[in-house]
Structure 1
């Protein structure tokens, strides 16, 4: 009895998933490593960074933006016969 294999290759794509939680924004000071609170709007972290720069003189910040992505097949699987 021969063993037979069938391979089917499909393409996948990553799409931004907006059905779940919204993006999360945070800013981190490059000089000292402190960071803002995580927020669903960029305003809070930006305000924190400006205040931190004014108090500390630190000028460089790393933006941390977290979003959800969903992997989706780009073609529909055929129904079995």
Structure 2
């Protein structure tokens, strides 16, 4: 018995996912104790959280997390 393979190549593209109705999501995380801010659609909330956390704990290092969303789709004319 002979096995055959059929290869099909298609061109894909990535674009921002607008189906969520919002942009990126921002968070901050302390690099000393790993406490984290709430997620926010603006940088203001995580920045204020970082400053308050630094004042309360003396921790001064933070990781800023920015999550953006993408959607993959076939290029027009592909079948």
Q: TM-score range by the shorter chain?
A: 0.7 to 0.9
Moved over 4 A (4+): 3-6
Q: How many residues align?
A: 77
Greater shift in the superposed pair: 51-60 or 24-33: 51-60
Is the 8 Å Cα contact of residues 25 and 64 (structure 1) preserved in structure 2?
yes
Match of 1:50 in 2: 51
Larger radius of gyration: 1
RMSD: 2.3
Normalised to the residue count of structure 1, the TM-score between the two structures is 0.75
Is the 8 Å Cα contact of residues 10 and 75 (structure 1) preserved in structure 2? no
What secondary structure is seen at the aligned counterpart in 2 of 1:9?
A: coil
Unaligned runs of 5+ in 2: none
Is 1:20 aligned to residue 20 of structure 2? yes
